[in-house]
Amino acid sequence: MSIPQQRPAGVIHRWTLELDDPAAFRSKFTERHDVAVRRVECPLPPFNRFLHTAVGTEFRWGSREGWTDEEWRNFVDRPELETWVLYVKGTPAGYFETEYFADGSARIHTFGLMRPFFGQGLGSHLLSIAVQRALERGAGRIWLRTCTKDHPHALPNYQARGFQVVREETLPV
Question: Is residue 4, in this structure, part of any structural domain at all?
Answer: no
pLDDT of residue 9: 65
Q: Tell me how many domains the chain contains.
A: 1
Question: Is residue 6, in this structure, part of any structural domain at all?
Answer: no
CATH number at residue 121: 3.40.630.30
Question: Is residue 3, in this structure, part of any structural domain at all?
Answer: no
pLDDT of residue 11: 87
pLDDT of residue 10: 79
pLDDT 10s digits, 20-73: 999 999 999 999 999 999 999 999 999 999 999 999 877 777 678 789 999 999
Domain that holds residue 133: 11-172
Question: Is residue 5, in this structure, part of any structural domain at all?
Answer: no
pLDDT of residue 149: 86
pLDDT 10s digits, 83-126: 999 999 999 999 999 999 999 999 999 999 999 999 999 999 99
pLDDT at residue 7 is higher than 60: no
Question: Is residue 161, in this structure, part of any structural domain at all?
Answer: yes
pLDDT of residue 4: 47
Mean pLDDT of all residues in 131-143? 97
Q: How far apart are CA 100 and CA 80, in angstroms?
A: 5
Question: Is residue 93, in this structure, part of any structural domain at all?
Answer: yes
Question: Is residue 140, in this structure, part of any structural domain at all?
Answer: yes
In order of 86, 97, 129, 156, 173, the CA distances from 38 in angstroms are 7, 12, 10, 25, 34
